[in-house]
Structure 1
Amino acid sequence: MGERELAELMHLVNRRLRHGYLRRLEPLGLSPSHARALRVLAAEPDRPLRMVRLAEELRIVPRSLTPVVDALEEAGLVRRRTDPGNRRSTLVEITAAGRAAAERARDARRRAGEELFAVLSAEQREHLGDLLDTVEAAARAAESRPA
């Protein structure tokens, strides 16, 4: 199998996984960008994040984050407050309802993956996971090397 074919297969499988995830997020009233933001905020439950830091974690520009945080705040899943250490900065903190929504979104992603990969044996899933971990670790290491 050529490199292009493998990349195309990964793209197709990822697209199917994303569609399964979207189907499960819709009844929760969440978009993938909402779920990602909640996931990052839930990882730091006792520490609100500055908007700029949240945007960095999501790898988006801060102005793209504003509508996401607006929607999450309107739904009662996050709260904004002024950073006492820098009054020009805004902190975003997850609420209890936001933590519960983040957990439901995580379950939705897990179920989408389980459904898609159900055609593989447990051993094949484990092997695929190991291979993908290897690729991800190598890519992360390459990103952290100075240019």
Structure 2
Amino acid sequence: MTTPDSDGLLPEQLLRLTRRVHRIQKRQLEQRGLGVTPAQSRLLRTLAHYDAPPRMADLAERLEVVPRAVTTLVDGLEASGKVRRVPDPANRRVIRIELTDDGLKALRELHDVRRSAAEEILTPLTDQQREVLGGLLDTLVDGMPPQGRDC
């Protein structure tokens, strides 16, 4: 029995698209001179999702990387003034990571870079194609078809 993707083309297309998005984002980061790598960008975005400054172990778990990788990223971001290490008020031996004002500014610029990269990718699509793609991506992200989703 053959499937619509019996030759395995879809996974390859998805991987190629992901790589293209990353290349565009990296190029735009370099052009804007933000001094942030894609990995640091991901850490900044992750930090923004916490209500209170997280521990490095929390970041490593959320990013699904080893703690040493987070230490290296934080070191670079701290050197550029985008994050700072702060002692935990309940346990001064615990260090937490928080965004600085420069980090928040960089985060806004990174958001613009991501939107610009997405727009560059989506330019060839019509409004109707974008709508269809959006529905398909929602299904892939949520892992269920639209009719099974709570709206």
Aligned pair partner of 2:59 in 28, 46, 54: 54
| CA displacement 1:90-143 (0-9 Å, x = unmatched) | 10000111011011111101101101110001221121121111111118xxxx
**Match for residue 109 of structure 2?**
104
Contact 1:51-1:90 at 8 Å conserved across structures: yes
Give the Cα separation in 2 of the matches to 1:48 and 1:25: 25
Q: CA RMSD, aligned part only?
A: 1.5
What does 1:70-109 correspond to in 2, within 5 Å?
A: 70-109=75-114
Larger RCO: Structure 1 or Structure 2 (Cα < 8 Å, ≥ 6 residues apart)? 1
SS at match of 1:80: strand
SS at match of 2:65: coil
**Match for residue 64 of structure 1?**
69
Aligned residues: 138
The amino acid across from 1:29 in the alignment is G
**Match for residue 48 of structure 2?**
42
Aligned pair partner of 1:21 in 22, 25, 41: 25
Return 5+ residue gaps in structure 1 as ranges.
140-147
The amino acid across from 1:20 in the alignment is I
Structure with greater strand share of residues: 1
Q: TM-score, normalised by structure 1?
A: 0.87
Return 5+ residue gaps in structure 2 as ranges.
145-151
Give the Cα separation in 2 of the matches to 1:59 and 1:122: 35
Give the Cα separation in 2 of the matches to 1:134 and 1:18: 22
SS at match of 1:125: helix
Give the share of equivalent positions with the same residue, in percent: 43
**Match for residue 14 of structure 2?**
10
| CA-CA distance at 1:86 after TM superposition | 3.0
Q: TM-score, normalised by structure 2?
A: 0.85
| CA-CA distance at 1:70 after TM superposition | 0.3
Structure with greater helix share of residues: 1
